[in-house]
Structure 1
């Protein structure tokens, strides 16, 4: 929605430039947009599938830490998964691209 509002503004509008850059930077940090897609038009083309791929639950399953997507959710809820040094118990946690390689079992 923010991208749609920003696109209605003039291309030289300071609000569009500042907030647009912040939005694109955030989308890039979370891996929703690639380096070649850093334009507001690409934000409107994001799919639900792409958002779901960035969830911790999906990442735990895809990295082979869990046998199924449901098992991944249980492991996360029971606080067996950490991202970096932080134990995370929210399956919908948005994983940044920089944190992706730090997903591991928690040492309880």
Structure 2
């Protein structure tokens, strides 16, 4: 019984090390998303941090600020969703080879 527990602990340690490595890698990976047909484009890294935003000057209208705000929110949320999907995929690669009963 203790031998099995030791094996599980070893696997957990390996998984923890790999996950830490992937988190570092994700900080350097980015995803882009745009809204309004490219009027607003944002880039988010694998940590779901906004890295950059580009707004086409033609979309800036002082009489319709709400539209610009909606485009920004849409672009940021889309990029964050893609970033989470990327993170889930990368983390899935780590856990795929490990056989820890009841973990997932």
TM-score, structure 2 normalization: 0.29
Greater CA radius of gyration, 1 or 2? Answer: 2
Give the structure with the higher percent helix: 2
TM-score, structure 1 normalization: 0.28
